[in-house]
């Protein structure tokens, strides 16, 4: 039953389609209007047969899809206790995992746009931690951002902290992780679902002109399916990093992909023996250049697949998010197309595809029409990687009687011959792959016309002077070492320069200025780049070096690599391998933020930059931030990555 079926007499703040300026013909009485109404009814009524006939209520709609006024925002309190527990999520190996309220991934926190979240964090771990809320705008209150060493102290063992998140003007599936070291790779991650406000404009009328279909899509927001993809290893990250320091082991080899915490070990497919001409092991991983070995022979398991129930709905909203921080994923649903309706920057012009691509830290929201025969349909996840071939599955289930499988038997692995994706993630036949360059914001948004400041960054690496197995990575010439997460927060003393040459922080970005980041990649690997606190416009990207001084100079040459009219907007954008990328935003509030890579080994090795935006107007930091229990540490003598 839909929201409109349950509550036909809508009140202020409820979710129903309305029309700002209904055409005069809507109110006319006569034979023409009766015939028109009958035709529209006949065209749409068949859509309700699968889930029972729905009573028709007057829900006039407009082309701009305005909705009734939002409800009053509420305070939402949530208690979150961080700890560790022994777990075996893919059925292949027991090991310690970080859990929140005894779960990994942490249970989804639910609220509506306009609410204020108070998340009360208790640290029952044996080391400091702090949580960062990915894709959340804190305005100037970035001491709630969770960037330890930049905006706040870490939370000490047995201590607590409350993060306050104001959701006005932002919605969607957000996610969060530890932002001190690497627990996020070992189970420390969770999600927040912020349902969009009733008065936020939706693009559903661009998918279907039938108001019953549009209402079904609106109803789907009430209970979306969250699909959290997480590449999972059987070893803990501290041991892997120790092997990196001692033997040069690069921790890119995973045993499974967990979907909402469930999965199964699938060893290398028999038909795949190499990646780009390089031999691979039984886990599907390219052999390490250093000769280091991280795992023995792969042994398949019979862990559970995640089952997503359709529950007799006509449409389903699905939020795909990738907190795995290594492999991008390509995703398809057998016998179903997907309409992309949003990314982590908000609603987009809908795009109908067969395959979506979700890079590290990214969120992609789709609408799926549930119009197939009652059965189970595999959801396929294929790693898009030059270092490993890895596949995983979940199941989209229509209610039906399952025949031929005994109780307790593991669910059979879906057959590859039914897939529209190759094992590499490449489309098969006429399958349509998502085109991120055409995910234009909805309603349309145009970036500022000119930039006042251009920051030139370079994603690069240099040999560590003390350890031959370590590469010091950076964006502006200086690595942001992992130990800095334990240090005195820069936001408390914003004018105090760090003892680096050059200083890794970028300062003096005036309030109201428009800033471009022109980023070049010295590495032969694509890198997902993320900015805290603000979604960025992707003006353009390309191969090789950026040949001009700034975007203005590049566009004056007539280059077609740029879109200054309706470029994609998002928190995460992928920097092409050995290529360049241009991003733009306007500083509308003073804040301390960060810009960094979201691929775990490059993040750990220093590819991060603190940004002081509008630092001539930074607000006073509250006493509760200044007075957090903490330990003052001295800067290490050598300042190496792992000192």
Model pLDDT for residues 382-397, shown as the tens digit of each residue: 999 999 999 999 999 9
Domain positions in the chain are 75-195, 204-438, 453-626
Over residues 487-506, the mean pLDDT reads 84
pLDDT of 25: 36
User: Phi and psi (nearest 5°) for 162?
Assistant: -115, 120
| Signed CA dihedral, 532, 538, 542, 545: sign only | negative
pLDDT of 44: 55
Over residues 473-481, the mean pLDDT reads 93
Residue, of 8 and 311, whose pLDDT is higher: 311
Residue, of 256 and 67, whose pLDDT is higher: 256
Over residues 353-376, the mean pLDDT reads 98
pLDDT of 635: 74
Over residues 31-45, the mean pLDDT reads 45
pLDDT of 498: 74
Residue 402 binned pLDDT confidence (cut-offs 50, 70, 90): confident
Residue 79 binned pLDDT confidence (cut-offs 50, 70, 90): very high
**Of 112, 134, 240, 116, residue with least CA distance to 189:** 134
Model pLDDT for residues 273-310, shown as the tens digit of each residue: 999 999 999 999 999 999 999 999 999 999 999 999 99
Is pTM beyond 0.75? Reply is: yes
Residue, of 499 and 377, whose pLDDT is higher: 377
pLDDT of 19: 40
Burial environment of residue 232 by CB neighbours within 10 A (0 to 12, 13 to 18, 19 or more): buried
How does the average pLDDT of the chain come out, rounded?
90
Query: Residue 33 region, left (φ>0) first, then alpha (ψ -120 to 50), else beta?
Result: alpha
Over residues 596-624, the mean pLDDT reads 95
Over residues 420-437, the mean pLDDT reads 97
Rg (CA), the chain: 25
Burial environment of residue 130 by CB neighbours within 10 A (0 to 12, 13 to 18, 19 or more): buried
Residue, of 498 and 185, whose pLDDT is higher: 185
pLDDT of 57: 30
Over residues 456-481, the mean pLDDT reads 93
pLDDT of 579: 98
Burial environment of residue 571 by CB neighbours within 10 A (0 to 12, 13 to 18, 19 or more): buried
CATH H superfamily, domain 453-626: Cupredoxins -  blue copper proteins (2.60.40.420)
- Let me know the angle formed at the C-alpha of 377 by 374 and 381, rounded to the nearest 5 degrees: 165
461 three-class SS: strand
174 three-class SS: strand
Compute the distance between CA of residue 555 and CA of residue 581 in angstroms, rounded to an integer.
Answer: 14
Compute the distance between CA of residue 24 and CA of residue 368 in angstroms, rounded to an integer.
Answer: 34
**Of 369, 350, 366, 368, residue with least CA distance to 358:** 366
Class of domain 204-438: mainly beta
pLDDT of 289: 94
Show the tokens assigned to 434.
């998502």
pLDDT of 13: 47
Give the total residue count for the chain: 643
pLDDT of 643: 61
Residue, of 553 and 641, whose pLDDT is higher: 553
Q: What percentage of the chain exceeds 70 in pLDDT?
A: 88
**Of 201, 207, 263, residue with least CA distance to 230:** 263
CATH architecture observed for domain 75-195: Sandwich (2.60)
Q: What is the largest distance, in Å, between two alpha-carbon atoms of the chain?
A: 87
- Is residue 428 within 8 A of residue 419, CB to CB? The reply is yes
In the predicted structure, residue 320 carries a pLDDT above the cut 50: yes
pLDDT of 617: 94
Same fold, 204-438 and 453-626: yes
Distances (CA, A) of 220 to 108, 226, 464, 491, 588: 17, 12, 51, 41, 33
Show the tokens assigned to 330.
């390509």
Residue 629 binned pLDDT confidence (cut-offs 50, 70, 90): very high
pLDDT of 608: 97
**Of 190, 144, 191, residue with least CA distance to 163:** 144
In the predicted structure, residue 256 carries a pLDDT above the cut 70: yes
Model pLDDT for residues 112-147, shown as the tens digit of each residue: 999 999 999 999 999 999 999 999 999 999 999 999
* 8-19 residues labelled b (16+ CB within 10 A) or e (exposed): eebeebebbbbe
């Amino acid at each position: 039953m839909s929201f409109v079926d349950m509550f036909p007499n809508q009140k202020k703040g409820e979710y129903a389609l309305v029309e700002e300026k209904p055409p005069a013909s809507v109110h006319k009485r006569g034979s023409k209007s009766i015939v028109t109404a009958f035709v529209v009814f006949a065209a749409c009524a068949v859509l309700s047969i699968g889930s029972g006939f729905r009573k028709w209520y007057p829900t006039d709609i407009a082309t701009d899809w305005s909705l009734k006024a939002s409800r009053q925002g509420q305070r939402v309190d949530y208690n979150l206790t961080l700890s560790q527990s022994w777990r075996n999520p893919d059925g292949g190996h027991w090991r310690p995992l970080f859990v929140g309220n005894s779960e990994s991934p942490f249970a989804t926190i639910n609220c509506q746009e306009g609410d204020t979240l108070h998340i009360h964090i208790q640290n029952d771990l044996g080391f400091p931690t702090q949580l960062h809320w990915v894709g959340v705008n804190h305005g100037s209150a970035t001491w709630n951002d969770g960037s330890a060493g930049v905006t706040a102290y870490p939370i000490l063992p047995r201590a607590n902290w409350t993060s306050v998140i104001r959701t006005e003007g932002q919605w969607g599936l957000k996610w969060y992780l530890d932002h001190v070291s690497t627990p996020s790779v070992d189970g420390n991650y969770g999600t927040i679902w912020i349902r969009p406000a009733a008065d936020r404009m939706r693009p559903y009328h661009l998918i279907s002109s039938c108001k019953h279909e549009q209402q079904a899509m609106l109803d789907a927001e009430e209970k979306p399916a969250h699909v959290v993809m997480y590449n999972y290893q059987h070893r803990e990250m501290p041991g892997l990093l120790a092997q990196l320091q001692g033997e040069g082991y690069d921790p890119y080899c995973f045993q499974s992909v967990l979907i909402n915490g469930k999965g199964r070990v699938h060893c290398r497919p028999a038909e795949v023996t190499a990646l780009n001409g390089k031999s691979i092991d039984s886990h599907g991983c390219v052999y390490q250049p250093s000769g280091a070995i991280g795992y023995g022979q792969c042994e398949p398991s019979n862990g559970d697949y995640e089952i997503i129930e359709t529950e007799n709905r006509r449409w389903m909203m699905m939020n795909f998010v990738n907190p795995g921080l290594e492999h991008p994923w390509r995703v398809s649903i057998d016998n179903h197309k997907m309409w992309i309706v949003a990314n982590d920057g908000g609603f987009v012009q809908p795009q109908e595809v067969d395959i979506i691509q979700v890079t590290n830290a990214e969120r992609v929201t789709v609408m799926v029409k549930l119009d197939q025969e009652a059965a189970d349909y595999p959801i396929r996840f294929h790693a898009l990687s030059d270092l490993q071939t890895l596949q995983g599955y979940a199941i989209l289930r229509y209610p039906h009687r399952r025949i031929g499988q005994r109780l307790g038997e593991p669910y059979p692995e879906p057959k590859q011959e039914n897939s529209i994706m190759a094992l590499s993630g490449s489309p098969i036949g006429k399958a349509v792959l998502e085109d991120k360059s055409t995910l234009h914001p909805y309603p349309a948004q145009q970036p500022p016309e000119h930039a006042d400041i251009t920051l030139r960054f370079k994603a690069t690496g240099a040999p560590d002077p003390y350890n031959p197995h370590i590469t010091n990575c950076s964006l502006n010439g200086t690595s942001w070492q992992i130990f800095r997460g334990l240090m005195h927060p820069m936001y408390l003393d914003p004018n105090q320069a760090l003892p680096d040459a050059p200083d890794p922080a970028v300062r003096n970005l005036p309030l109201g200025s428009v800033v471009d980041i022109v980023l070049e990649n010295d590495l032969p690997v694509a890198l997902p780049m993320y900015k805290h606190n603000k979604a960025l416009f992707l003006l353009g990207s390309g191969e090789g070096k950026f040949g001009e001084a700034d975007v203005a100079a590049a566009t004056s040459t007539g280059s077609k690599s740029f879109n200054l009219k309706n470029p994609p907007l998002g928190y995460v954008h992928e920097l092409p391998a050995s290529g360049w990328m241009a991003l733009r935003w306007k500083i509308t509030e003073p804040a301390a933020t960060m810009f960094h890579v979201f691929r775990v080994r490059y993040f750990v090795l220093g590819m991060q930059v603190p940004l002081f935006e509008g630092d001539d107007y930074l607000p006073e930091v509250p006493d509760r931030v200044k007075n957090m229990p903490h330990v003052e540490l001295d800067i290490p003598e050598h300042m190496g990555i792992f000192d």
